[in-house]
Structure 1
Amino acid sequence: MAMNQVQFQSGLSMAQFIRRYGTEARCYRALYRARWPQGFRCPRCNSRPRSRFRRAGRVY
């Protein structure tokens, strides 16, 4: 089997990962900040309002 580069990259230990992203809410906030460091802006109209919806029990 070929070596997977993702598996062997240096980074956080499992304990560090859990401390940083241990809950779904903390993980969501970290992803949100990484994607939109200055806050969300619509790519089409540059406005801030956004909507979320639920499908099959999941929030999008």
Structure 2
Amino acid sequence: MRMLLFLFALLCLLAPARNGFFDEKCSKLNGRCVDSCQKNEELVALCQKSLKCCLTLQPCWTNIND
């Protein structure tokens, strides 16, 4: 019985914690489904539950020597 109470308490404490691994993925698993995109992300598609599929922008590096 103590073990059951301990597991219940542990699950209740861990439930609010969010991990990027468990978030819904999109755009061939490179993007993530969120409410709004951040500054360094672009909207590439739409997900279920009216979420946006955001993909991190890759910087365009130019070669100074050319």
Bucket of the pairwise TM-score, normalised by the shorter protein: under 0.3
Bigger relative contact order, structure 1 or 2, given CA contacts below 8 A and separation 6+? Answer: 2
The TM-score, its normalising length taken from structure 1, stands at 0.27
The TM-score, its normalising length taken from structure 2, stands at 0.26
Higher helix share: 1
Higher strand share: 2
Flag the structure with larger Rg. 2
